Amino acid sequence: MDIGIELNNTKIIIKWADIKADYYRVLFKKDDVFIECARIFDETQIQLSLVPFGENECFVQAVKDGRVIDESSKRQFTFDTIDVISCSQDNNEVRFFYSKYKGAQGYRLYKNEAEQGFSGCKNSDTTFISIQKTDETEYKIKPYIKGENGREILTSSPIFKAETGFFEFVTIYKSFNYNLFLSWNFNGYADGFLVYPQNSNFPIFETNDGLRHHLELTDFKGSTKFIVKAFVNTTEGKIIVAESQPAALSIRKYEKPDVSLIIPAYNAKDYIARSIDSALASDFANLEIVIVNDGSTDDTQKIIDWYDKNYENIVSIQKENGGVADTRNVGIEAARGEYIAFMDNDDLIRPNMISSLYNTITKNNCDVAIAPLYRITDKGYSTHCNLPFMPDIPHDIDKYLDIMYTPNFYNCAIWNKLYKASMVKAHPLGKLKYEDVSWTPCIMSYVEKFCFLNTPFYEWDRKTRPETFGDILAKQSEDDLFEHRKQAMLFFVQNGNPSKHEYMKTIAKRRLARYAKNSANPAYNELMEKIDAGKY
């Protein structure tokens, strides 16, 4: 077992291989003794803040069934900066924690006084300094020793601001079988979260996933209140950087369907409740959730029926099996919202996705709002669909079509967008195998203005169900695979906005060129030539 150490700005990231242990202990040397600073249950890496300045030594142990089954070699490294983290206090103060400097006799906080520059404003001989909360002010922390001529500065932290994280809201809903679904929206940075029943000092849940935003609760009464705490990992343990208000079971105040979220469902009994729960936990009150069961043969409909009975904003539709494109079209036809979004039955949305996209699309009077998305695998989160556009302003659609299917912008996801419903209803999906590849360029060609937010909201979960329908298609014969891809290209070339026909041809050729690069089938190049010659 070995570990790797990376420097991430003023933080340290320690990584190791997964050897299927129950958990991993991370130990740092302090005063010639190794002290455990963290236990990691659901990851194979940790980011640590406030690493002491100078020489350091650490290692990782793997624990299974209560005993150490392996441990890494001890790694020595030098850390040559002062890290700072901020957290809010109840009395409108902010507390700065900072890296220790061996031999320092004190730490001095310097404040940027505009024209006067940085000047010292407060000293401390402990591991933190507290001040009244201010906005936009810049600071530095400098460790010092006391010499004959006064303070002798040893080094300085980088410039920082009093940026503190906070919980925008925490909510609890009834989940299938009368369990509870706890959801939170944290604004800021955290290494992980702890969940406590109110008035308890013992957490019932801990995660080192700093992007997590939900927890399925069992065996708790509906009257129980919960508190969520955000923490940052340091070499001396966790520091709580924010704490939510107690949250109780919520009652949705649903008035009208401003936005319709369409979820196609097929044999999803093992995970669809979680997806519906994450949609119900949205902070957007007037969200209609349209769930279309595409002829499932398991207990999927039983679960949908429960939500339909308990939540007035759930719309349940059953149909014969016809594929995901046909299923989405049934949802589109039934949707009553002014705007439409899509979600798959094994994915998640973050609580502020719908409200954020709705706010920008209405403010900027656009036809579609777009945001990046997270792809989740065993290796963690990766960001997809990031676009090089200024956020929260209207853009002409030609700017989007100019880069569609160019390197780094291949992704054609339909779920990371909010669409004007009238546009979607006028141009539904083609009933094809590659329904997203075929429909996304088509619908975008009818857009006049779009807006973009640079925050990922949608979670494309490849961890819960690693094999998707796209993976199944990819296992087909080369001839069958080509035929499905051909139909997808021809769909948007032939059905796209006539005024954007040249764009549709260009986008099809870009996509086909990528397919051709990874295939020996000459049909891809032949199809490109026919499209270029206007034979379709």
The per-residue pLDDT string of the chain (536 residues; one tens digit each, 9 = 90 and over) reads: 899 999 888 999 999 999 999 999 999 999 999 999 999 988 899 999 999 999 999 999 999 999 999 999 999 999 999 999 999 887 788 999 999 999 999 999 999 988 788 999 999 999 999 998 877 799 999 999 998 888 999 999 999 999 899 999 999 999 998 899 999 999 999 999 999 999 999 999 999 999 999 999 998 888 899 999 999 999 999 999 999 999 999 887 899 999 999 999 999 999 999 999 999 999 999 999 999 999 999 999 999 999 999 999 999 999 999 999 999 999 999 999 999 999 999 999 999 999 999 999 999 999 999 999 999 988 889 999 999 999 999 999 999 999 999 988 887 899 999 999 999 999 999 998 888 999 999 999 999 999 999 999 999 998 887 566 556 666 778 889 999 999 999 999 999 999 999 999 999 999 999 999 988 899 999 999 999 998 88
Q: From CA 99, how far away is CA 81, in angstroms rounded? A: 8
Give Cβ neighbours of residue 177 (< 8 Å, ≥ 6 apart).
Answer: 306
Q: Hey, is 282 helix, strand or coil?
A: coil
- pLDDT at residue 133, rounded to an integer: 83
- pLDDT at residue 398, rounded to an integer: 97
**Residue 148 is encoded by which pair of tokens?**
């004959």
Q: Residue 311: phi, psi to the nearest 5?
A: -130, 125
State the DSSP H helix or E strand holding residue 453, giving kind and residue range, or none if neither.
none
**CB neighbour burial string for 448-478, b if at least 16 within 10 angstroms, e if fewer:** eebbbbeebbbbbbbeeeeeeeeeeeeeeee
205-207 vs 214-217, strand pairing mode: unpaired
Q: From CA 206, how far away is CA 224, in angstroms rounded? A: 18
- pLDDT at residue 268, rounded to an integer: 96
Calculate the CA dihedral of residues 487, 489, 494, 495 and round it to 10 degrees: 90
Q: Residue 276: phi, psi to the nearest 5?
A: -65, -40
Cα atoms in the 13 Å half-sphere on the side-chain side of 77:
20
- pLDDT at residue 467, rounded to an integer: 62
Which residues partner with 110 through β-bridges?
120, 140
- pLDDT at residue 471, rounded to an integer: 61
- pLDDT at residue 473, rounded to an integer: 63
Give Cβ neighbours of residue 336 (< 8 Å, ≥ 6 apart).
Answer: 257, 260, 288
**Residue 199 is encoded by which pair of tokens?**
């008035």
Beta-carbon neighbour count of residue 299 at 10 Å?
14
180-187 vs 45-48, strand pairing mode: unpaired
Helices (H), 281-388: 300-310, 324-334, 353-363
- pLDDT at residue 464, rounded to an integer: 80
Q: Hey, is 93 helix, strand or coil?
A: strand
- pLDDT at residue 243, rounded to an integer: 95
Contact 149, 167 (CB under 8 A): no
